Structure 1
Amino acid sequence: MARKVTIRDVAQAAGVSVTTVSQILNNKGERFSPLTRQKVRDARKRLNYVPDFNAQYLIRRSSRTIGVLIPDLGNPFFSQFITGIQNKAMELGYVPLIFGFDNNSQRASQYLEELIKRAADGMIIASDILDTTDIDQTLRANHIPYILLDRSATSVSEGDHLMVNDRDGGRQVAEFLLEQGHRDLAVVMPQQASLNIHKRWEGFETALQSVAGTHIHQIFTSLDKEGGRAAAAKVVKLPNVSAVFAINDEVAMGLYRGLKDCGRQIPDDYSIVGFDDIEIDQYLRPTLTTVHQPTLTLGEQATEMVIARIKSPSKPLQTIKLPVELVVRESTRKI
């Protein structure tokens, strides 16, 4: 088996000491001449030397890694969220270790433990199935800062808070559909809703409660395309409903297919509004009216907050709420 190139090989090739190589490659070689610094960099490139992670960790006492736990890597929302994390982490000199746990709580717990074993400096966790109290206790005990998204409505994390204004998004949807003349409306959502999903419903329901003559029907289903498709059969059984709020865009996409299977047209028979504004919304026919949330910014902001906490553990706690905006497209109409 071929031997891995070491820092000693680079030092020998450059004709300098191991200490000199270490300082130059760690951007601490200002005291050396430009010629010496260039010799070291040329030797590193020629030998394809990659620094040893464990050795660097022992020197810095930091892995410069961020653990990221995502429930569904196939969800377009999370792919954009991850892009934001990657962009900001690399910009700030950290490497994200990204794990998708397929909404499996046992797998998520295993990945959490593995990230702790691998000395992740901080974590970003998007989950409503992990027990928040356990996460708080486990990560605090190991002095690992973290950001939780999609938290359970029954427990609140002790730490920095980052969220989008889901409640306001639900309000915007309700007010828009009222302006369009809709009074009999359905909401398609999971029965056991995470905190962010519950806030969308809460904002929607509150905005409609004070308007006489409105009726809201809740249709419970899974939070994915198949759930939306299955919900369509229940929507068509509600005789007066003219508009449907799909609690996220994945559900809305499923509704498109399900309503078509039922022989219904969008927006002629039903106005449809989603939530997220994933990229494919602009390519659906008709294009989807939805609430835009700044997913890329959410990933970047979560990364910035975790790294700031890594560098300054005692700084005051932060709470950041990002705004959302309704984007009107072709899937809705006035009646």
Structure 2
Amino acid sequence: MTEPVIGAPSPQSARARRGPSLADVAGLAGVSTQTVSRVANGLTNVEAATRDRVLRSMQELGYRPNRAARALRSGHFRSLGVIMFTLSSYGNMRTLDAIAVSAATAGYSINVVPVEKPTQKDVSVAFSRLLGLAVDGIIIVIEAHIIDRADVELPPGLSVVVIDSTERSDYPQVDTDQAQGARLATEHLLSLGHSTVWHIAGPADSYSATRRAQTWRSVLEENGRVVPELMQGDWSTTAGYEHGLTIAARPEITAVFAANDQMALGVLRALHENGRRVPEDVSVVGFDDMAESDSFWPPLTTIHQEFEATGRRAVELLIAEIESHPEPAALSSMPTRLVVRSSTGPAPTLS
């Protein structure tokens, strides 16, 4: 009789170290390894009772499908990359959350690479990092004009969707209807009797900020109103506060459209500190409809953006490309709506 080798691992301990195999699951469930493979790969040609038995066996043994091997067989890694400039903005975080939830629902994981500065070099490095992580496609969320530049080359043969529309037409794009939102905000203030509307814009290199400012200007011109000097901001409450101090010192300013809610919050603080009442003296409109905007004082009139719909649509378009049934490269525009609260009111009578 052969004596056991001292120190040799038992079959049970060896299996514990390597993890349960396809054969282990098949043995426990009383089916073939081919049946287990079909269940693990999500195929539908397995009877419901058999599928349930296999899934229970997987759970009991702690079996995890070998996704790397599956990727080699199918050519797909079930993973999406996201390149995003700034994780601190409200809109980007809401969009990223929607991307993550939608991807998980579709059976994909995500890898996020933040870009510190929207330059050609940083974008190229982000692409390289994601390609090294073996992703099936990439969603780009960068608000700057960098994607339009001829010297920025996106990897050939890779599925790409851009959030925040660009001048390129070779990739599907998803964006909020920025022009509609800015028009609603500006027209709302004019309808209240204000002679004109001042605008605190976002960064000059932001698509969203540029389109909102262009539409604000167009609406004033269409209505024969004076177009005030543009106030340039950077999305922050600090920028809104600093411009708010200027607004507070000028009694002829009665209506302000801030390009996002955070800058609008800064304006409200500056007006309050300097004795200008909202909305009795100055009406203020924001853009985004942050979860906290109804808790500002006074509650903020703002433009509601569909961040969740934008993220879901981007994932939908990207997976369609990955799975070889792409839609034509075009812009999917998400509608906006005006949410009227207490920060806007009739124009005051100026003495």
TM-based fold match above 0.5: yes
Q: Which range moved further: 269-278 or 17-26? A: 17-26
1:41 is aligned to: 55
Mapped pair 1:176 → 2:188: yes
Give 2:160's match in structure 1, choosing from 146, 153, 166: 146
103 and 224 in structure 1: CA distance in 2 versus 1, 3 angstrom threshold = farther
State the alpha-carbon separation in 2 of the partners of residues 107 and 262 from structure 1: 42
Task: Give the % identical residues.
Answer: 27
State the alpha-carbon separation in 2 of the partners of residues 252 and 125 from structure 1: 27
DSSP 3-state at the match of 2:63: coil
Give 2:73's match in structure 1, choosing from 31, 48, 59: 59
51 and 107 in structure 1: CA distance in 2 versus 1, 3 angstrom threshold = farther
Q: Cα offset for 1:21?
A: 2.4
Whether contact under 8 Å (2:163, 2:314) holds in the other structure is: no
Give 1:125's match in structure 2, choosing from 130, 134, 140: 140
DSSP 3-state at the match of 2:45: coil
Q: Which range moved further: 8-17 or 252-261? A: 8-17
263 and 47 in structure 1: CA distance in 2 versus 1, 3 angstrom threshold = farther
Give 1:28's match in structure 2, choosing from 26, 43, 51: 43
1:73 is aligned to: 87
DSSP 3-state at the match of 1:240: coil
Q: TM-score scaled by structure 1?
A: 0.86
Give 2:125's match in structure 1, choosing from 82, 89, 110: 110
Q: Cα offset for 1:333?
A: 0.8
Superposition pairs of residues 236-247 of structure 1, within 5 angstroms: 236-247=248-259
State the alpha-carbon separation in 1 of the partners of residues 52 and 94 from structure 2: 39
Q: Cα offset for 1:29?
A: 6.9
2:209 is aligned to: 197
Q: Cα offset for 1:51?
A: 2.0
Superposition pairs of residues 1-335 of structure 1, within 5 angstroms: 3-8=17-22, 9-11=24-26, 13-14=28-29, 18-28=33-43, 30=45, 34-35=49-50, 37-101=51-115, 105=119, 109-129=124-144, 131-132=146-147, 133=149, 137-139=153-155, 141=156, 143-150=157-164, 155-312=167-324, 315-335=327-347
State the alpha-carbon separation in 2 of the partners of residues 185 and 130 from structure 1: 27
Q: Cα offset for 1:3?
A: 2.6
Whether contact under 8 Å (2:197, 2:255) holds in the other structure is: yes
State the alpha-carbon separation in 1 of the partners of residues 76 and 100 from structure 2: 18
Q: Cα offset for 1:254?
A: 2.3
Q: Which range moved further: 99-108 or 65-74? A: 99-108
Whether contact under 8 Å (1:7, 1:18) holds in the other structure is: no
DSSP 3-state at the match of 1:146: strand
Q: Which range moved further: 321-330 or 105-114? A: 105-114
State the alpha-carbon separation in 1 of the partners of residues 66 and 184 from structure 2: 52
Whether contact under 8 Å (1:136, 1:157) holds in the other structure is: no
273 and 38 in structure 1: CA distance in 2 versus 1, 3 angstrom threshold = closer
State the alpha-carbon separation in 1 of the partners of residues 129 and 114 from structure 2: 13
User: 4+ residue runs of structure 1 moved beyond 4 angstroms?
Assistant: 11-18, 102-109, 133-136
| Deviation readout 1:287-318 (Å, 9 max, x if unpaired) | 11111122111111111111112223665323
Give unpaired runs (5+ residues) of structure 1. none
Q: TM-score scaled by structure 2?
A: 0.83
| Deviation readout 1:236-273 (Å, 9 max, x if unpaired) | 24341111110111211222233333343322332110
Whether contact under 8 Å (2:143, 2:208) holds in the other structure is: no
Q: Cα offset for 1:136?
A: 6.4
User: Alpha carbon RMSD of aligned pairs, Å?
Assistant: 2.8
State the alpha-carbon separation in 2 of the partners of residues 6 and 57 from structure 1: 20
104 and 208 in structure 1: CA distance in 2 versus 1, 3 angstrom threshold = closer
